Amino acid sequence: MAEQGNESEQGTSGKKEKNTANSSRLTRLVSWFDSRLGLSYPLLRPAPQYAINPFYWLGALTVVAFVIQGITGMIMMLYYVPSPTDAYLSTEYIFQSVPYGRFLETVHLYTAYAMIMLAFMHMMRGYFVSVHKKPREAMWITGMVMGFVTLGFGFTGYLLPWTVVSKSATDVGIGMISALPGPVSNLLNFLIVGAGGDATELLRFYDLHVVVLPAILLILLAVKMYMLEAHGISEPVTGGELAPKQKRTLPIFPDVSLYLLELAAIFGSGMLLISAAFPLNLPPQYTPQLAAQTTPQPDWYFLWIYQVLKISVFEGAGLPVALSLVTLIFIVLILLPFIDRGPRKRVSQRPKFVTLGAIFIAELVALAYWGLVTPGQIIPVEQAALVLGGVALIVSFTSLGLFKLINSKARSKLPTVNVSKIRRVEIWNGIMFTALTGFGALTIGASLDWGVRLIINGPNLSSLVYFVFSFTTLAICVLATTYFIYRSDLRMGTIKRRVRMFEIGWRDEKVGKQQ
């Protein structure tokens, strides 16, 4: 028995020595690369411990997707010919004759989808945790421009296979440019289409996709990385003091580099597995005859715009109004740091902007799915107002309930309060706010409908009366909604600028709080 115990101890010590030796070899290997390449030189600032979280590196994963796009794209460039007569044939050759060509095309497409989705997730995470606020305003604007470049990759790359689906959808997109104001339309046509004709259009899209847009994205990436090094990684908005362990910094090499390498490996493996499980099928080649039988429909990331343009009020001469609204959404996203300038960053302290962000996501998803299942169908303005208003209503009501739940604990810590009175006021405000949100969506649809009719058909008494009535009703809804939001903020104590007109009837509640 003693001999067996000695053998067991010797085996255990042997394993420990082996593990120590392996660790020592790995350490020496890392040190060798570090001493030769200077990887631990403080060119990049160390990352805090709390940043070791995948959600902090969504932007980095977007760059990984871009790198995969570049590698697969360069391989396909060896075989692709950017001309109307050869584009489809060369793509078909990659699918059928190049070893693993179909797999290569599938990886390229799915990684492009992942790049767009990751960029959107990166943007919305930044929105909800307030990374756009001082001093990171320029970083937000740079990131938004990078997002538009990413969408440009999708738009330009979609045409290159020259299939009936891609060519038809691209023609619709180019046709929309003509509805923009003259100078803007001419400039975009010159940049995107060129002198005209299919050959020039395809070659211009190819040049934009493989040369111009990658160069712009790399320059913007360098600018954003410089600003990231200047400002550092934003702290989590938990509201509490960070533990010393969370504040501890980790060197870029090897700790953070190995972590990023793990994330990239997991992401890349996922893309490879999905591409192998769901290989891409090449649609038919574009011909004018086949295009006449095909309903043009963009890829999923532009479906929400497609559905907005299908609303009946925006058909024909109303198209410039729809494009102006879409452009306004993009402008608001770019200028967000100058709109949401409050010092509060926690989600629980920003009910208005959090609710608006949730409505934005829900509307995009609803519009995209609606566009997918109704290809080519014109949507009546009343139906659009009901669906979009209903989505906003559901999200607003859910957000209201969640914020009430979040703030209930904080309210319970206050001194003695007339709880029943405050609860009745909360229920009343919630019902009114929800009703006004839904009714406001209907009045938005009516105002747009009659406004576009006035623009298209010219002023007449009937249209003018309906427009004034619907717009006045919308203004009342906006004012009333602002009133109830103000009351909610007043109750939470987050008001920065007092508006006495909105505090009518608030005295009883204030007295209740003081009791």
* The amino acid at 63: V
CATH domain 47-234+247-296 topology = Cytochrome Bc1 Complex; Chain C (1.20.810)
Phi, psi of 188 (to 5 degrees): -65, -40
**Which residue in the block uniquely carries the two structure tokens 């797999």?**
103
C-alpha dihedral sign at 323, 324, 329, 331: positive
Compute the chain's Rg from CA coordinates: 29
pLDDT tens figures, 466-485: 677 777 877 777 777 777 66
pLDDT above 90 covers a percentage of the chain that reads 39
Could you tell me the two tokens for 381? 């303005």
Beta bridge partners of 250: 47
pLDDT tens figures, 225-234: 988 888 888 8
- pLDDT above 50 (res 417): no
**DSSP type of residue 341:** -
What's the mean pLDDT in 228-244?
77
Burial state string for 89-125 with b = 16 or more CB within 10 A and e = fewer than 16:
ebbbebbeebeebbbbbbbbbbbbbbbbebbbebbbe
Q: Distance (Å, rounded) from C-alpha 418 to C-alpha 509? A: 8
Residue 218 CA: distances (Å) to CA of 116, 211, 363:
16, 11, 31
Q: Which residues contact 16 (CB under 8 A, 6 or more apart)?
A: none
Q: Distance (Å, rounded) from C-alpha 484 to C-alpha 262? A: 48
Spans of all domains in the chain: 47-234+247-296, 388-514
CB 168 within 8 A of CB 294: yes
For residue 254, whether the previous peptide bond is cis, meaning omega lies within 30 degrees of 0, is yes
What's the mean pLDDT in 276-300?
92
Residue 405 CA: distances (Å) to CA of 348, 357, 398:
10, 19, 11
Higher pLDDT, 231 or 334: 334
Element (H, E) at 247: helix 244-247
For residue 99, whether the previous peptide bond is cis, meaning omega lies within 30 degrees of 0, is no
pLDDT tens figures, 181-231: 667 777 888 878 777 788 989 999 999 999 999 999 999 999 999 888 888
pTM of the model: 0.78
Residue whose C-alpha is closest to residue 345's, from 131, 141, 164: 131
Q: Distance (Å, rounded) from C-alpha 513 to C-alpha 422? A: 9
Provide the 3-class DSSP secondary structure of residue 237: coil
pLDDT tens figures, 308-333: 989 888 877 778 888 888 889 999 99
* The amino acid at 10: Q
